[in-house]
Amino acid sequence: EAQVTQNPRYLITVTGKKLTVTCSQNMNHEYMSWYRQDPGLGLRQIYYSMNVEVTDKGDVPEGYKVSRKEKRNFPLILESPSPNQTSLYFCASSRSTGVGSNIQYFGAGTRLSVL
């Protein structure tokens, strides 16, 4: 089954304790993104990757890191989480970019609480 898998689904942590949210897709997609979704602010892109070893900042990258060492995996790293990073996070992938290609397939989401 074609899917984007995020783990964990729920995470409660404390300020400053490094964490990683994993994301994996089995569709051989080139393009992967991380979003956060907050009430009243909608979906905002954190980082994206056009292909292996190619990553770039989205609209809200501060406090986050990513890497793309393999095509299927795109982990999100919070080196020193803070309470303002409490949010619902989605990983997404798409086949490519350009007209008609950039359909985003989303993971189930990770609900993160930073105390």
Partner 1 sequence: QKEVEQNSGPLSVPEGAIASLNCTYSDRGSQSFFWYRQYSGKSPELIMFIYSNGDKEDGRFTAQLNKASQYVSLLIRDSQPSDSATYLCAVERKDDKIIFGKGTRLHILP
Instruction: Examine residue 48 and tell whether it contacts partner 1 (CB under 8 A).
Output: yes
Q: Which pair of tokens denotes residue 78?
A: 């919070």
Instruction: Examine residue 104 and tell whether it contacts partner 1 (CB under 8 A).
Output: yes
Instruction: Examine residue 100 and tell whether it contacts partner 1 (CB under 8 A).
Output: yes
Instruction: Examine residue 52 and tell whether it contacts partner 1 (CB under 8 A).
Output: no
Among 5, 72, 106, 113, binds partner 1 (CB under 8 A): 106
DSSP class of residue 50 equals E
List beta partners, residue 1: none
Answer yes or no: are the C-beta atoms of 9 and 109 closer than 8 Å: yes
Q: Which residues contact 2 (CB under 8 A, 6 or more apart)?
A: 26, 27, 105
Task: Kindly list the residues in this chain that would bind partner 1 in the complex (CB under 8 A).
Answer: 33, 35, 40-45, 48, 50, 58, 90, 97-100, 102-109
